[in-house]
């Protein structure tokens, strides 16, 4: 019998709004804000880690956004547990 694959739900717009609300909360601290700022600056930075063809050069930008999102979601979950 084939094993059923579990798919993790993709982040929706409500998840992104929740992260933005978390960043606006004064209890969030400077760490999560710094992660968001660095991800935004990397997206605006003209140099890429993977220069070349557009599909490949977009991978590092997508990875930066995904990593920042995962870190911020983890920080949000930790903040919820503290409250």
What is the chain's alpha carbon radius of gyration, rounded to the nearest angstrom?
16
Encode pLDDT of 37-69 as tens digits.
Answer: 888 888 887 776 667 777 777 788 888 888 898
pLDDT digits (tens, 9 = 90+) for 29-40: 888 889 888 888
Claim: this prediction has a pTM higher than 0.95? no
- Specify burial of residue 32 (Cβ count, 10 A radius: 0-12, 13-18, 19+): buried
Alpha-carbon distance of 25 to 7, in angstroms, equals 31
CB 71 within 8 A of CB 32: yes
Which pLDDT band holds residue 77 (cuts at 50, 70, 90)? confident
């Amino acid at each position: 019998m084939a094993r059923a694959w579990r798919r993790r739900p993709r982040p929706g717009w409500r998840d992104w709004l929740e992260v933005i609300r978390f960043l606006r909360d004064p209890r969030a601290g400077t760490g999560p804000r710094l992660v968001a700022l660095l991800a935004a600056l990397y997206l605006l930075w003209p140099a890429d880690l993977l220069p070349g063809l557009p599909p490949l050069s977009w991978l590092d930008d997508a990875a930066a956004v995904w990593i920042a999102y995962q870190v911020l979601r983890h920080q949000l979950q930790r903040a919820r547990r503290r409250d």
